[in-house]
Amino acid sequence: MSRVYLSPPHLTGREAELVAEAIASNWIAPLGPHVDAFEAEIAAVAGVEHALALASGTAALHLALVVRGIGPGDEVACSDFTFAATANPITYVGATPFFVDCDPETWTIDPELLDRAIGERRAAGAHVRAVIAVDLYGQCCDYDALREVCERRDVILIQDATESLGATYRRTPAGAQGALAAFSFNGNKIITTSGGGMLVSDTGEWIEHARKLSTQAREPVAHYEHVEIGFNYRMSNLLAALGRAQLETLPLRVSARRRLRDRYHEALDGVPGLSFMPEAPYGDSNAWLTCVVVDPDAFGTGREAIRLALEAEDIEARPLWKPMHLQPVFASHASFGGDVCARLFERGLCLPSGSALTDEDQDRVVATILSVGRQRQA
Ligand SMILES: *Cc1c(COP(=O)(O)O)cnc(C)c1O
């Protein structure tokens, strides 16, 4: 039996064909027909006007902040319950993040708490310019509520959609809710280019500025002329070919992950001490990762015992994201709330959710979980 990974790359068909075609055409550079086509295809899937293919989702978040002029002296509100790649770019531009806890009903940033946090930071003299809201584990934030807060408070809404490609919010595709949004095609995401990302927006001017910045900010003249600081952030045509082949099967990937989530529910709903990430009523998650929360008293043992039992079976599972306010590197930053995501981190586990996971392997995951609970005596 081979190791069961959390969310490994899944090749589904035309990857080799499209990459071979890119090689045969000699378009190996960070520009070319596959880059242009991949941008147009992602824009269509996300329901936005403009898209820019980049080297990573982190680069997309970084450029979102740069093109909105966020820099030293500014503060940016950030989902507390996320991966560090959401918060790191805030520091790249010289701004300061502060963290806002999640709503226990969605695990995404709490709009009311965000409102209060912005008010308190401003009362303390802070120059709050933007919020980065994370669509966690494939579930969108409550964007109607967030947009109301952001408009009233005059802050820019940046959507970290790196985990939510293929999800919906009120029947619109994830990625269309923020003023700017970032996607990721890292190896563990729902589609992958081995590494890559996309910045999307309905505002062409921001995307065009980001496009220029992403290739060292060359001015449009024959020689190398620069009036602002640039980056080397473009996606290669070779990887865009890989991404296009992956994107062709996005609906199948989403339905495969949702099916796994439903099978986990069927097998584990009603087991004392186990509960799942709640599904928000306003949209459909892409079910990127299925997450359970373990109440050790009711289940009989804790999250870590389950993880280690799975590991002993050569099955990879991971604790939920460790909140940013608990990260040593952000310890000195302001944070609001924090108990909700701290408790989820303590008790939560991401289960194998790859779109190629077989029923047999998933059944092994379930059997291993049940074998360590109090249920086993029943
Ligand atoms: C994956 C991820 C990112 C970063 O994307 P990369 O492409 O790996 O740079 C940012 N935020 C969250 C929440 C992620 O899961």
Ligand 1, atom nearest to 135 Cα: 13
- In this predicted structure, the answer to whether residue 110 has a pLDDT above a threshold of 60 is yes
Closest CA to 318 of 342, 353, 284: 353
What contacts 46, CB < 8 A, 6 or more positions away?
161, 165, 173, 174, 175, 176, 181, 183, 200
| 125 Cα–ligand 1 center, Å | 31
Same domain, 183 and 124: yes
* Residues 31/214, Cβ–Cβ less than 8 Å: no
| CA nearest to 89, candidates 223, 231, 209, 206 | 231
Model confidence, pTM = 0.97
Residues sharing a CB contact under 8 Å with residue 110, sequence separation 6 or more, in sequence order: 100, 101, 102, 103, 337, 340
Average pLDDT over all residues of the chain: 96
Least confident of 28-37, 82-91, 121-130, 222-231: 28-37
- Same domain, yes or no, for 326 and 221? no
- pLDDT per position as a tens digit, 54-90: 999 999 999 999 999 999 999 999 999 999 999 999 9
Average pLDDT on 340-362 reads 97
Q: Whose CA is nearest to atom 5 of ligand 1?
A: 57
Whether residue 236 is found in the same domain as residue 255? no
Residue 27: inside a domain:
yes
pLDDT at residue 95 is higher than 90: yes
For tokens 């924090």, name the residue: 338
- In this structure, is residue 364 part of a structural domain? yes
C-beta 57 within 6 A of ligand 1: yes
> How many angstroms separate the CA atoms of 338 and 253, rounded?
33
Task: Mark which of 247, 271, 306 sits at the end of a domain.
Answer: 247
CA distance 79 to 340: 12
Total domains in the fold of the chain: 2
pLDDT in tens, 268-316: 999 999 999 999 999 999 999 999 999 999 999 999 999 999 999 999 9
Q: Return the structure tokens found at 149.
A: 């807060």
Confidence category of residue 375, pLDDT binned at 50, 70, 90: low
Pairing outcome for strands 74-79 and 127-134: parallel
Distance 338 CA to ligand 1 centre (A): 21
The set of residues, in sequence order, having a beta carbon less than 8 Å from that of 315 and lying 6+ positions away, is: 3, 4, 352, 361, 364, 365, 368
CATH of the domain at 162: 3.40.640.10
pLDDT above 90: percentage of residues in the chain: 94
pLDDT score, position 28: 81
Identify whether the C-beta of residue 239 lies closer than 8 Å to the C-beta of residue 195. yes
CB 134 within 8 A of CB 146: no
Closest-lying ligand 1 atom to the alpha carbon of residue 196: 7
Q: Nearest Cα to 368, choosing from 347, 352, 354?
A: 352
Whether residue 58 sits in one domain with residue 105: yes
pLDDT digits (tens, 9 = 90+) for 162-172: 999 999 999 99
For residues 203 and 341, state if they share a domain: no
- What CATH number did the domain enclosing 318 receive? 3.90.1150.10
* pLDDT for the residue 377: 45
47 versus 12: which is more confidently predicted? 47
